[in-house]
Amino acid sequence: MNRNHHHLLSDTEITNITSQLAYDLVQYKNETADTLIDHYLRGDAEGLFEVITNWIEIAEDEVKRQLNGELMEDSFNDESFNPSYDF
């Protein structure tokens, strides 16, 4: 069972994850092809689904990591935030 059974993704999140997955599959095209052929030759549909699930979840994690990094950078650039450091 994949993570999406536990939460819902917005259309934007799905688009971003799809883009990241496409990027990853191109970056690792030989490894991807080897994995697909290996599971195909073994007739391992369950294993193939598990691999695909992992690829998607890794892409989702990368999208979240990038978004969190951007949010952190934005928080450092927030000129309206002026903390008072009274010692």
Q: Provide the residue ranges of all domains of the chain, joining segments of one domain with +.
A: 11-67
CA distance 53 to 4: 10
**What pLDDT does residue 10 have?**
83
Taking a C-beta distance cutoff of 8 angstroms, is the pair 40, 9 a contact?
no
**What pLDDT does residue 47 have?**
96
**What pLDDT does residue 9 have?**
80
Taking a C-beta distance cutoff of 8 angstroms, is the pair 17, 59 a contact?
yes
**What pLDDT does residue 61 have?**
92
**What pLDDT does residue 33 have?**
96
**What pLDDT does residue 32 have?**
95
Which residue ranges in the chain fall short of pLDDT 70? Answer: 1-7, 71-87
What is the three-class DSSP state of 10? coil
CA distance 1 to 4: 8
